[in-house]
């Protein structure tokens, strides 16, 4: 289980939201066009229709990892590429390994990502570098209201 509800996921990971721009989406589309870290990401809107307003926003970008590897040393720079319509591959530094929930690792790879897995990431610790690939689609949890206010605390 990756999450129990969008609200619970947002509450747990609000401090790891990426800052960027949301562009208007076509009526009825479940995808959010989010520009952050020099990339255009298409995210499955997990907060419901009409929550993601166009403009600046904080969004928790969540991907389910299909492959990852711990790197023996730091690479020269972070990397992030879009795979297909809504997947990622990249290289980044582990910022946090939240405990007490589903297997999760927070990575900085041009933007902050909350990566989830179906199995634990046992050998990772903050400061480690990893390469990763995510499954499609990426999920987007847009911070609004109290979650946005609480992010700054």
The whole-model pTM stands at 0.91
Angular region, 46: left φ>0, alpha ψ -120 to 50, beta rest: alpha
Measure CA 28 to chain center.
23
Round the CA-based radius of gyration of the chain to a whole number and report it: 15
User: CA 117 to CA 16: how far, in whole Å?
Assistant: 17
Of 118, 114, 98, give the one whose Cα is nearest residue 106: 114
Q: What is the pLDDT of residue 99?
A: 83
Mean pLDDT by 10 residues, the chain (153 residues): 80 95 84 95 87 91 96 95 95 93 93 94 93 96 72 56
Q: What is the pLDDT of residue 92?
A: 98
């Amino acid at each position: 289980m990756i999450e129990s509800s969008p609200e619970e996921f947002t509450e747990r990971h609000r401090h790891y939201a990426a800052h960027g721009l949301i562009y208007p989406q076509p009526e009825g589309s479940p995808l959010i066009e989010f520009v952050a870290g020099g990339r255009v990401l298409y995210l499955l809107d997990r907060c419901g229709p009409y929550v993601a307003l166009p403009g600046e926003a904080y969004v928790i970008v969540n991907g389910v990892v299909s492959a990852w590897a711990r790197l023996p040393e730091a690479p020269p720079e972070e990397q992030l590429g879009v795979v297909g319509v809504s997947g990622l591959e990249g290289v980044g530094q582990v910022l946090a390994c939240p405990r007490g929930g589903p297997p999760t690792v927070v990575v900085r790879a041009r933007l902050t990502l909350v990566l989830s897995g179906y199995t634990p990431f046992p050998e990772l610790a903050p400061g480690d570098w990893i390469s990763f690939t995510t499954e499609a689609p990426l999920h987007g949890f847009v911070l609004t209201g109290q979650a946005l206010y609480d992010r700054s605390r």
